[in-house]
Amino acid sequence: MATAPVTTPGTGPAAPTGRSQTGRTATATTARGQRRRRALTGWAFAAPFTVLFGLFLAIPVVASLVMSLTDLRSTDLRTPLSVDFVGLANYVRLFSDDLFLRAALNTGVFVLVGVPLTMVLGLAAASALNSGLIRLRGLFRVGFYLPVVTSIVAIAVVWRLVLDPEAGLVNALLRLVGVDGPNWLGDSGLALPSITVMAAWRNFGFLMVVFLAGLQTIPADLYEAARLDGASRWDQFRYVTLPLLRPTLLFGAVVTGIGYLQLFEEPFVMTRGGPLSSTLSVSYHIYNQFGFGNYGYAAAASYVLFVSIVALSVLQFRLLRSRD
């Protein structure tokens, strides 16, 4: 029968010797050195991007934020030390400026009407192409997407000619049926809707491609099961397509909303913000203020536009995010 070893007090496991402690210390020092070298290697690879990001993005953004809190004008560029810190005075002035409020209203109407209209057109085109109702799908896909990759300036010039009250194609067609067409871009009540329709026509091709990709990820088995349950085409669209397309719709809404809030080229080329500021947008107003040399005021308007873009994106995420 084996007997357990008897351990007498003071004779336990051997205490670490000085050589083993020195070995552990050397191992720890080596590990710290390797970590330091890895960190330096990582920073060496990231340094070019970090320097470029700081010089051309972070510093200008911070500088523009500081500028919005000053009364900097073009006349102060030679004597920058004479610039005064005005706090939130530029922001307060913005919301008492009738022209800025008119620009904000025009931009809001453009976004509220233009984003849903563009999304509906894009989804309708994508659904038609995906269902096979349209032949020559490749040709139509290219045709719908072509305005997206065409210069916005060229498109705006063409649309200005198409909407010309005397020689434009739209009024010429209306005259064939005995209707005198209005001055689409010269009437303060029709100029902004005309630009909205043109923007929707130009941009729905991009959403069509995005929505088409989303539609093709929906399993055909779900539609087959819905048909076996007696669901109509509208029911399939409402209870199968729309819920499964929600992430794609969210992406399209956010991207389109951000772009439409920065409306600039269309009124700049087609109406110069008129008539009577009916097509003046916030971006166009900021451009004018920078041109007038009101740098602090224009920077404050830019940050109001930035906050508006963030707020709209947050709202769209709340409305269209997945409910799972």
Q: Residue 269 has which token pair?
A: 């080329």
List the pLDDT tens digit at each of the 324 positions of the chain.
Answer: 444 444 444 444 555 556 677 777 778 888 888 889 999 999 999 999 999 999 999 999 999 999 999 988 888 877 877 788 998 999 999 999 999 999 999 999 999 999 999 999 999 999 988 886 667 777 888 888 889 899 999 999 999 999 999 889 999 999 999 988 899 999 999 999 999 999 999 999 999 999 999 999 999 899 999 999 999 989 999 999 999 999 999 999 999 999 999 999 999 999 999 899 999 999 999 999 999 999 999 999 999 999 999 999 999 999 887 666
- CA gap 29, 154 in Å, rounded: 66
Burial of 257-280, coded b for 16+ CB within 10 Å and e otherwise, reads bbbbbbbebbbbbbbebebebbbb
The predicted pLDDT at position 83 comes to 86
Alpha helices in the chain (DSSP H): 18-53, 59-67, 89-94, 98-131, 137-149, 152-162, 169-176, 191-215, 220-228, 233-236, 242-244, 246-261, 265-270, 282-292, 295-320
Whole-model pTM? 0.83
Structure confidence at residue 16 (pLDDT): 53
Alpha-carbon span 252 to 246, nearest angstrom:
10
Quote the pLDDT of residue 53. Answer: 93
Q: Which residues pair with 70 in a beta bridge?
A: 85
- Which candidate, 83, 257, 245, 270, places its Cα nearest to that of 164? 270
SS3 category, 279: coil
Residue 267 CA to residue 241 CA, distance in Å, equals 36
Cross-strand bridge partners of residue 85: 70
Which letter does DSSP use for residue 56 in this model?
I
